[in-house]
Amino acid sequence: MSKLGSREAIETMIEKGTLILLPFSDIRGYDTSGMNCGVYITEAQNLNINLMKLALQRIGEDSICIVEGDVKT
């Protein structure tokens, strides 16, 4: 909630289908091609290089990706 707004705003976005929360464990088989969306990966310092590659390969050309994590970790 600290990144996207109030609890009510997030619940509204989920109900309207404008926000999809996807656990990283479900990234296999997911593809954003044709969705024209933004992907926000948080806590990226906890990912190894193979998991990061897996996630980035799922980002379609019509989408953007924001990766957030502690670069010192």
CA–CA separation, 40 and 56 (whole Å) = 11
* Confidence check: pLDDT of 3 > 80: no
Structural domains of the chain, count: 1
Domain contains 46: yes
* Amino acid making up residue 57: Q
Residue with tokens 């479900």: 26
β-strands 38-41, 64-67: how paired?
parallel
* Confidence check: pLDDT of 18 > 70: yes
The residue segments making up the domain with residue 26 are 7-67
Domain contains 39: yes
CA–CA separation, 17 and 41 (whole Å) = 19
Tokens linked to 59: 């980002």
pLDDT-derived band at 1, boundaries 50, 70, 90:
low
pTM (2 decimals)? 0.77
Q: Pick the more confident residue, 72 or 12.
A: 12
pLDDT-derived band at 29, boundaries 50, 70, 90:
confident
